Structure 1
Amino acid sequence: MITKQLLAGVALTLMASLAFADRVAVFDAQGAVLQTKKAAKVMETLKAKPEYAELTAQVESLQADLKAMAKEQENKGMTWSQEQAMDHRKKMEYVQADLQLAVKKLQAENSAVLSRLMQESQESLREILGKLVQTEGIDIVIPAQGVIYANPKSDITLKVSAELDKLAK
């Protein structure tokens, strides 16, 4: 009960502050950084690495194997003995486990690159946001991930991304 009242109070406070704000902007920091030319180059470099390309090929191969195994089960499964069906299911589980591991490795590589890009861009993001807030008379900047709906005109992500590109030159 107290939690509900506290949440309602916070929501009302937020709504009241939004009501008095002239200009509210939505911003996705990660999206802004990922849309830069620098991020595109870094991702190209990552994808060109032999280990990354090998992992990608492995994921694609394992996905194809799983698909083929599922098709085989669909076509021939009715004729298999219980032991054959169990062996096939076990093989599929092994391939699925290998696929999950390879996907996790790819995600870890991507996450490390994204983390590094975000860390390198923090100071520039602060500067650019500060300038935009002043020049455009923005009262409140809300993270895009927390917004259910926003008019596309209120999203400043692309503007920030363009400014990041200008700084990189």
Structure 2
Amino acid sequence: MMKKWIAVFAVMLPALAMAESRVGVIDPIGALQAADNVKSRMSALEKELGADEQRLNSLRQEVGKMQEKMQKEGMTMSSDQQEQMQTEGQQKMIEIQSLQRKLQKRANDAQRELLQEMEPKLQSAVAEVAKKENLDLVVSAQAVIYTKPDLDITEAVTKQLNKMK
């Protein structure tokens, strides 16, 4: 009988320990995306890439018009005209692919730079909020299936990030 109670106590001990712990939950990506610094950097990146994105859209429209023209008038065009249009279309497609790679690389580089800069700040902000709210444990929202809304410290961490420079 005594062994049974010890076994029950041993199973219940972790649950009892957790019952006294204060836990916070954070969406780290959400906290970063809502931070003023990140918003301004992303806005600047969008402006930086804007001209290339407009060029990309323009090229796509040109290729679409060329394809339409080939479908409508292809039978009446000379073989030289058809060949010239195909060559021009291929050149535009190569330019589209090149521009897409350039935009993707720049976006990836900017995201990596921003995360490298912001990760230590995020950790510091989480630690500061955990200290202020007397939390024993902070877990990522992605690792949690359910939480009460009052355990979410994402907004508090974003505010702390905004205070940091």
Determine if contact 1:66/1:96 at 8 Å carries over to the other structure.
yes
- C-alpha offsets along residues 21-60 of structure 1, whole Å, 9 cap, x if unaligned? 875625233x4333322223323444455xx444223212
Determine if contact 1:132/1:138 at 8 Å carries over to the other structure.
no
Percent sequence identity is: 18
Alignment partner, residue 32 of structure 1 = 31
**How big is the shift at 1:105?**
0.9
**How big is the shift at 1:142?**
2.7
Alignment partner, residue 72 of structure 1 = 69
Alignment partner, residue 113 of structure 1 = 110
Structure number with bigger Rg: 2
1:97 aligns with 2:94: yes
Normalised TM-score (structure 2): 0.60
**Partner Cα separation in structure 2 for residue 112 and residue 46 of structure 1:** 11
**How big is the shift at 1:155?**
5.5
Determine if contact 2:24/2:139 at 8 Å carries over to the other structure.
yes
Cα root mean square deviation, aligned: 4.0
Determine if contact 1:25/1:141 at 8 Å carries over to the other structure.
yes
- Runs of 4+ in structure 1 deviating by more than 6 angstroms, as ranges, are 84-87
Question: Closer, same or farther in 2 for the Cα pair 1:26/1:38, shift >3 Å?
Answer: closer
Alignment partner, residue 4 of structure 2 = none
- C-alpha offsets along residues 88-123 of structure 1, whole Å, 9 cap, x if unaligned? 556444423321221221122222222222112222
Normalised TM-score (structure 1): 0.59
